Amino acid sequence: MKRKVTLKQIAKELDVSISTVSKSLRNSPEISEDTRQKVQAFAKLYNYKPNNIALSLKNKKTKTIGIIIPEIVHHFFATVISGIEQVANENGYNVIVCLSDESFDKEVINMEMLANGSTDGFIMSLSKETEQKKDFHHIQEVINQGMPVVMFDRVTNDVLCDKVIIDDQMAAYEAVDFLVSKGFKKIALVTTVDYVSVGKLRTDGYINALNDHDLPVDDEMIVKIEDIANCASKIEKLLKENKPDAIFAVNELFAVTSIKLATKMGIKVPEDLSIIGFTDGIISQFSTPSITTVSQNGIKMGGRAAKLLIERLEMEEVEEEENEQYRTELIETHLVLRESTSTL
């Protein structure tokens, strides 16, 4: 068991001061070529690596990014982490991940815990409960303390900070517009309850698209699902009683569930019913039929979020802090055509 070696030990071993060792290793010109080499050779031999914690304390920056998301067993969020991680790594940052499990309390606790010195900033997506409560004091507090926050996907206007989103409303609009252009008249919507910000926006997009095409917006054709576990009955009812010829679903799970239920009821997809989902994940790719969907590039979103955060982090060092030019970056989306929509 050879514990990690410290400057102190090297200094003692070489009979010089700690300062000399430190400077030698950082190639300070103050130090003579001779001792520098001696120290460096010794350090190499003992595989000296500076202690991150000590550096963090000294420099008052940790070079780590805190990520707080609702869940990780979720293709889109995993994808975003992956994007963050990549950019973070390229810039010498590490990533510490906390899950809120869609709970407000967990989100607050995690945020406060990480804010006590563990990270330089945050990248986050709101939990459903937080969106419902509209209580963002924990985020505001962190920002007030001078730690930058970047929100993505599930964001709020009530907090001023950098944001990375897609244009949910427009993307939904385009999906529905596509269906209309293909001649569908009875387009249903399977969406979330309204407090889920992205769900609400996608719902708005659906409504706008119908309006713009002078199609009626029928409440019977809009199914709002609170709890994913028992969404089946509502969708079945929609299918049976309202006989839509197309469905726009605001996520993969709603889309695949609709397909499965329709198929079970003898409704053929896409012959009798076309379906468009949202998020181009594993399910959309491997479902049978595969699902036409609005792609949402999580890797890119994560990467951008990390870039924004790091830029702000590095900027702060130079300029005086109050550069309140918060940016909201839009990641483009597009429709991925697959088998679940008929090409009449």
Partner DNA sequence: CTGAAAGCGCTTACAG
Contact pick of 249, 256, 276, 294 for a second copy (by CB under 8 A) = 256
Q: Which does 144 bind (CB under 5 to 8 A by kind): DNA, a second copy, none?
A: a second copy
Q: Which two tokens stand for residue 43?
A: 């350090």
Find the largest Cα–Cα distance for the chain. Answer: 88
Q: Which two tokens stand for residue 330?
A: 């839009």
Q: How far is the CB of 124 from DNA (least distance, A)?
A: 24
Q: Which does 283 bind (CB under 5 to 8 A by kind): a second copy, DNA, none?
A: a second copy
Whether 196 and 128 have beta carbons less than 8 Å apart is answered as yes
Q: Is the peptide bond before 270 cis (omega within 30 degrees of 0)?
A: yes
37 versus 89: smaller Cβ distance to a second copy: 89
Q: Which does 282 bind (CB under 5 to 8 A by kind): DNA, a second copy, none?
A: a second copy
User: How far apart are alpha carbons 151 and 166 in whole angstroms?
Assistant: 12
Strands, E, within 87-221: which ranges?
Answer: 94-99, 121-124, 149-152, 162-166, 187-192
Q: Which two tokens stand for residue 234?
A: 């509502």
Give the interface segment with a second copy, choosing from 50-58, 204-212, 216-224, 305-313 (CB under 8 A). 50-58
Whether 278 and 294 have beta carbons less than 8 Å apart is answered as yes
Whether 329 and 163 have beta carbons less than 8 Å apart is answered as yes
Q: Which of 198, 220, 216, 199 is nearest to 207 (CA)?
A: 216
- In the complex, the residues that contact DNA under the rule CB under 7 A are 6-8, 16-20, 22-23, 25-26, 29-35, 48, 50-51, 53-55, 57-58, 60
Q: Does 242 bind a second copy (CB under 8 A)?
A: no
Q: Does 54 bind a second copy (CB under 8 A)?
A: yes
Q: Does 300 bind a second copy (CB under 8 A)?
A: no
Q: Which does 229 bind (CB under 5 to 8 A by kind): a second copy, DNA, none?
A: none
Q: Which does 233 bind (CB under 5 to 8 A by kind): DNA, a second copy, none?
A: none
Give the interface segment with a second copy, choosing from 105-113, 124-132, 169-177, 200-208 (CB under 8 A). 105-113
Contacts of residue 34, defined as CB under 8 A and 6 or more positions apart, other chains included, come to none
Query: 3-class DSSP state for residue 295?
Result: strand
Q: Which does 74 bind (CB under 5 to 8 A by kind): DNA, a second copy, none?
A: a second copy
Residues that bind a second copy (CB under 8 A): 1-4, 49-54, 56-57, 62, 64, 71-75, 78-79, 81-82, 85, 89, 94-99, 110, 112-118, 144-146, 256, 259-260, 263, 282-283, 286-288, 321-322
